[in-house]
Structure 1
């Protein structure tokens, strides 16, 4: 389990604990997470968390004990075959859904080959109807868009690459 995934699960467990929710189920990239206040709630597929998780998450509360991973294979992240080390990676600021355009049917914020300034909005990350605008961060030319539109991305995941001016 990646450190980022462990941090995301810990954050979800903390939000669950303080949010007053009864049950939350999240499935993404071959991982299934169930947080429930009902001890009779069974994990997906009847698999117990103790038999699947490699080790308890440090700092995670009792709600994380309901976490279980699904036996499905994980989805590989699409990365360009030739990434120049001088290109600047624009990464997701947090876990959420990656959107290339401001609304369905609208043109994308940027396309490969487009010149951008540091303050150019390149995409949106949405989580629970809260949209975060992601800026290029550097002036240059968009060389590769790695994340798929409407895909779930993790915090720190590369979204696109920009060749700096």
Structure 2
């Protein structure tokens, strides 16, 4: 198998894992000559609108893992969320990273002052990294996600107390 085919299979594997973990019922991806449809519904139409003739692949439901308590500073911070704080949300689905590379310190820590342009984290999906910036000036009050957790688009990642 050539290198491009191996990468394509790995990318499809990652998409399938994200599909299972995301709790979605359907995922459609089209890129160039490649079309991919993942669905939990046996009656789903194919990308070209024709009824699927092949036997659908069963995707077992994935139960969310029980949340283990995590010490403050190792991932998500503890404590109640003040309704006055502003949530910084994930722009897309992917893996949440608090630091620029493994072993590096996090971009920001609770209690740190941030500006609108301050980079807070990275969200990675299929080796594409999206930088998440604060968007507002204030003090970082809460980290809502543990490092390397899978997040969904729109999920709160951080809470900032505005000045």
Q: Same fold (TM over 0.5)?
A: yes
User: Aligned in 2, Cα 1:91/1:19: closer, same or farther, shift over 3 Å?
Assistant: farther
> In structure 1, what is the equivalent of residue 119 of structure 2?
121
> Unpaired segments of 5 or more residues in structure 1?
25-34, 37-48
> In structure 2, what is the equivalent of residue 144 of structure 1?
142
Matched, 1:68 2:59: yes
Residue 160 of structure 1, aligned match among 150, 158, 161: 158
Q: Relative to total residues, which structure has the larger helix share, 1 or 2?
A: 1
Matched, 1:15 2:29: yes
User: Aligned in 2, Cα 1:119/1:14: closer, same or farther, shift over 3 Å?
Assistant: same
Alpha-carbon deviations, 1:94-123, whole Å to 9, x = none?
Answer: 011100011111111000000000110000
Report the aligned-residue RMSD.
Answer: 3.4
> Unpaired segments of 5 or more residues in structure 2?
1-21, 68-75
How many angstroms apart in 1 are the aligned matches of 2:32 and 2:58? 17
Aligned residues: 128
* Larger displacement relative to structure 2 (97-106 or 76-85): 76-85
TM-score (norm 1): 0.63
Deviating 4+ runs (over 2 angstroms): 16-22, 59-63, 65-70, 75-81
Alpha-carbon deviations, 1:23-59, whole Å to 9, x = none?
Answer: x9xxxxxxxxxx49xxxxxxxxxxxx56xx9xx78x8
